[in-house]
Structure formats: C-alpha cells, structure tokens
Amino acid sequence: MHFGSGVPTVEVADLKDDDFLLDVREDDEWQAGHAEGALHIPISEFVARYGELTEAAPQDGKVNVICRSGGRSAQVAMYLVQQGIDAVNVDGGMQVWAAAGRPVVTDEGKQGFVL
C-alpha cells in the first residue's frame, strides 16, 4: 500500500511489539503519550538529530515512522527512503494506534493519551 506520492505505509495492525518505531511528533505530544519503546525525534529537530536515528535503528530492519495522523511521518518516511533507509509510514498514526487498543504511555510509564 502507498500513501500519497509513493510513500510506503504499514497498518498499525501489522506492527509487531518489537518493531522499531520512530515518533516524529513534537515534545508536548510525546509527553502526553507515546508508544512504549519508540525513539522520539521531533520533525522540527529531525535533520539535526538524524545521527540518533542511524545509531538506534536496526541495521537491516525497517524504520516505522509515526506521528499523530500520518502527515508528518509520511514526510520523514519519504526522506528516509531517499537516504536509502527501509522506512514506512504508519497509516493513521498515533490516533489509529490508540484506537486499536495499543498501549499509550507517558515517560513515567503511566497511561497516556494522544494529543
């Protein structure tokens, strides 16, 4: 499946618990609630912090990029694909993640919410 102009996508239901997840939402959104274990690099800081992703991402694995609804993550996923990284946009973002009953937590490990 593809989003917009050829951005590869993945459905929330197809993600496994140990899949690598990159959350590109801003700090206030992340603090309200996020997927446990996700790497957080806000889109506004992404280029400057790109090295953090390349260090954390699995060498031969896929980078699943998520935001609130899928727009920002589609931009980042396309950028990563252009850099030769196997990246996909999580269709529907954290809104679909939460609606599917996937856990949303705060940094303290408490129940979070999608802002």
Active site residue 67: yes
Amino acid sitting at position 5: S
Between the CA of residue 79 and those of 27, 63, 88, what are the distances in Å?
A: 21, 12, 10
pTM: 0.94
CB-side neighbour CA atoms (13 Å) of 85: 24
Kindly report, residue by residue over 13-56, the tens digit of the pLDDT: 999 989 999 999 999 999 999 999 999 999 999 999 999 999 99
Residue with tokens 């618990």, as numbered in its chain? 17
DSSP 3: E
Kindly report, residue by residue over 52-78, the tens digit of the pLDDT: 999 999 988 899 999 999 999 999 999
Residue 3 pLDDT > 60, yes or no?
A: no
Q: Which of 57, 67, 78, 114 is catalytic?
A: 67
pLDDT tier, 5 (very low <50, low <70, confident <90, very high otherwise): low
